Structure 1
Amino acid sequence: MAKTKSSVKPTIWQGNRQPVQQAVAFSPCGRYLAAAGGESPRKYNIALWDATSGELIDCQLVEDSTATQVCFHPDGKRLITAGMKPDSIAVRDLSDLTRVTSIPAVSNYYIWDVSLSPDGKKLLVCSWDDCTYVVDLATGKSNLFPSTKGAEFGSALFSPAGKTIAAATAHEGRVSVLQATSGKCLTRFRAHDDNCCILAFSSDGQYLATGGEGKKRNGEIALWDTHTWKNVWKRNANRIAVHGGTFSCDDQYLATTGNDNVVMVFNVEEGKLIEKLTGPKNALFNGVSFASDAYWLAAADEKLLVWQLDEMLGAEEP
């Protein structure tokens, strides 16, 4: 039976100037942890920590209303950040976050979400004009992704092999699986009764996790087999809706965040709720990330919280 309150306490990492609740990511190499967010109507902050020591490396304020995404380039040297403004996508040098290569706006509309291809060459951008664009990261040139005009995708994600793309229509709860070059729709299914807010592939590409809102305004997390696109399991999760989801480094666990101060950790194979990790009473977690090489889990609100779960999750393994 899952615990109602975790005995594992988080460590609070210091240094960020504003809340960093909107996006959190560990680097693939395990050296860095980045987060972004803010409460100012005109600025948000990007913070970068040493993932081993927890020491702040850099923190920069950005002229935009909010952050939408942070993701590390696979070369281990760059960080891609995005706000809501059309021209807010930036490629930043990890040695100095002020060294920026700006990506030209793909449209005149706000940005919903961005996703980097596994080889680091392309960037998917979901725009408020109901279209999805693909950006060549080397040149900054963008094109409308095939078959996505008017598709209203709020989020899109490359599969680990880079051959397919999962895209979610937020307000319908539907997921489309597209061929990554032609845009051909391979399948389409209803993942949730209401909003579908997040997508996450397991690192081996075997599963796709979707998170969103059920018909009774309850948060849901669902797991799908990527060979058949059949539902493996679906569980109630965070309050109202699930806004964040991440697989552990070995794909054994799936963590979710939503409209509350709890990170829920599920066993992937059975869909069993293993643990509820509780943050400050009034916290509202959004972004969440597992480290790529250990059972370290990060979630954020006003502060960045990190849980070391090696002992807890290791005890769950057979």
Structure 2
Amino acid sequence: MAEAAGKVWHGGDLAQAKALFPEAPEPWIDLSTGINPIPYPVPELPLSLWQRLPGVRDEAALLAAARETYRVPETAGIVAAPGTQILIELLPRLASIGPVAVIGPTYAEHAVAWRKAEMDVRESATPAEVGGAGVVVLVNPNNPDGRVIERAQLTAVARDLAGRGGLLVIDEAFIDFMPEASLIPDLPPATLILRSFGKTYGLAGLRLGFAIGEVRLTEVLRAALGPWAVAGPALHIGAQALGDSDWLAAASGARASDAARLDALLASRGVIVGGTSLFRLLATPDAPALFAHLGRHGIYVRRFQNNASWLRLGLPGDEASWQRLATALASFLPPCAA
């Protein structure tokens, strides 16, 4: 079950799952991503969206919907991109001083992007440990443990960095169901915030994300992305979904209930370290064996390169998948008990 050396592990690759467990029953249940398993209902799209280049008005409608939903201040800039990953890759263009402190463990691509730019990257456990870093990067709530850093602490870090020409980057990919924790409405200086569309709305394949911050920062990213960065269908669907507050509220309540149901299933299999309402992080010395056991049952979960005792599980999307997960977990026999 070996992956390529040096490659960052991600969830969502069922081809990899099938290669690891070729005899597993199908259909596979993919719990390896932290994506809403009940997606926003995609509307019927006009054929013209596929036939013409994305329009200025379409982009403006998307950005207006994002501003309202994310509560973006009028004075702040916002730019849309084909997913937040490309924004992460472009972040080093915003800062020339280091070192870069990444609050971790967290989403590994943040550190990778800054190292590609030949910046000195260090991992810190908390914002209080960043020392004289010129750039501080964190995910809030964190992936994979769901840790939330309070707004007051983030504001203090931002002000300190602003005073010495630094930059605070906050990846709020999993914050949509807890908007009270977002720093966007009271955006401090020297701060750039990333928001992901695909996770909460269950449409990762749409590839849509946003960067929000001082105009001087967002304009650098806009220029780097170039024209027509977001496809017309993504502009159209994104604007409609972000404007549907009723759907978001209903999804938030439903996923919170699902997360509690997952907690009950996992309680006897280890310690639930944390998570969000879209995933749970389980710690157990039996993690490698449990990963393999679930894989043989056609259930793919997320394991970690740097912590073999962790597994992250997303939410099943229907009752049949819930029952398969419950059956597989109940039949697991830890190695020490075998």
TM-score above 0.5, yes or no: no
Q: Which has the higher helix share?
A: 2
**TM-score by structure 2 length?**
0.28
Q: Which has the higher strand share?
A: 1
Larger Rg: 2
